[in-house]
Chains A and B, each alone.
Chain A
Amino acid sequence: MSTTTTKTAFWRGIRDSAPFTLVAGPFALLFGVLATEAGLNLFEVMTFSLAVIAGAAQFTALQLMQENAPTVVVIISALAVNLRVAMYSAALTPYLGRAPMWQRVFAAYLLVDQSYALSHQKFEAEPAMTVPERMAYYMGTCMLVMTVWYGASLAGALIGSALPPQIPIDFALPIAFLAMVAPAMRTLPHVIAAFTAVVVSLFAAAVPWSLGLIIAGGAGMIAGAQAELWMERRA
């Protein structure tokens, strides 16, 4: 490899990721606003966003902490929502697994929906890319999105303390969650998983320590997996 091609790959990553800032930006902004409304100070909001970099997991933790759920339930639920990054990690390993350890540590920290989706697609389409070129492209896809992520979190935290109290901001979280889930209803098993979780959560709402969430989520996952098996057997 030459320096020019890795540089080109890096800039291509930046360019390809530009549209995704339109998705990451508003989520980080909303997190900043809602976390501030929930009583977190600027330092806490920014540490949260820097340490976790996962919209859905951060919103989950925020919602459950406001409901005074037990800390263990908060952590388990938020990590469960974020389990998909482990799958991303598995999917990228064949392409980036031979890079030096320090690069893989950075790559892991920056692994989000956008960097995974763009890179995996790219690496599959261009099998001739070298490992350093792939890593450069990957880092490119992260750079702009992360800058926007941090900046928008900060902007949200600053705006949050200035919002008028009439705005029904408490309902922004449920709407944001629904907006994240609705486009993911790609297949029948996805719909069955979600539907099962909805029904069970209504019956399990009274279960103490917010365990209804774990029960309903678990039931949804099992229903989705079983539906998938059933469809495979029929096909």
Chain B
Amino acid sequence: MGNRCAVIGVGQTHYTTRRRDVSMAGLVREAALRALEDAGLTFADIDAVVIGKAPDLFEGVMMPEAYLADALGAAGKPVTRVHTAGSVGGSTALVGASLIQGGVHDRVLVVAYEKQSESNATWALSTHLPFTSSLVVGAGGYFAPHIRDYMRRSGAPDHIGALVAVKDRLNALKNPYAHLKIPGIDRAMVESTPMLWEPIRYLETCPSSDGACAMVLSSEKAVTGTPAWVHGGAMRSEPIFRAGRDTVSPQAGIDCAADVYRQAGVTDPRRDLDVAEVYVPFSWYEPMWLENLGFCGVNEGWKLTESGATALDGDIPWNASGGVLSSNPIGASGLIRFAEAALQVRGMAGEHQVEGARKALGHAYGGGAQFFAMWIVGAEKP
């Protein structure tokens, strides 16, 4: 994986339904400036900028990196725009890290964002390519059948999804940047909300957020402040329409995890990792990804969730930040997972800090559960 790379700065905006006070450029600049402040640097110290976001159709700005270059202090520098569907935030971090691991640059600013208040994601996700049919379902309608099949296969009881919805929102109460803050949330409240896509209820879905996240990545010799070292990074993709592919536990996810675990020397993720930030946009994806990522055996994920192992005080906390279920600026959601993993091993996660976290997983997925991006960061140099 080339030269050593570290996260030396993290910046986030306060995720919310509408940021009427800033433009898209203002939003990304806010996150970038906070990341630079965290690293004790300025735009002048940055060699290259990598920008990620979900489809351009969301906000209706085509290739927005051209427009955002000025706000990110990128004039005169290389700018790359990554787009790998929902996994894009994770891919953005990996493309940025690649520039350092490949020895091309010493300091790279990675930024991802979505301004959902100026977009209509469900509309944009339901349009279709010429000569193909539209599913006209948005993301929830697409993934619900996969969840139902998981429930059928695993024999999971109906309430597991609600448990995840409650746990992640309780964590969000401890995260100053989280969008959804629902004091007093409990299983009864989740189960009283409308059914959107069987079995997904309203409070089992992610919100629509405005927000941006940024990180400053550094080579070993250019490190400032408190680094989170990249111990491994991997991406995998598989075709959406391949007959026989397992959409409940995609091979690309299994392979991606195996790759990043090998790089980081992880043999038992539940034991070897201290915390995981995993892309769970619908509650049921926690037990599904627990299995896909090898934190437990097949059909055992729901038992791990039910036992409380993934809670903030469990033996392997998942989404201590509140996760995608609590904040979802789509294009940034993957980068937030990667950034929160870094905050944990830097010991800078504040109230939702997992005590003594030394090694953390950041995870993102996208498309028809076919694109995966993961990294493992650690407090120690790899």
* B and A form one assembly: no
Residue ranges of B at the interface with A (Cβ–Cβ < 8 Å):
none
Residue ranges of A at the interface with B (Cβ–Cβ < 8 Å):
none
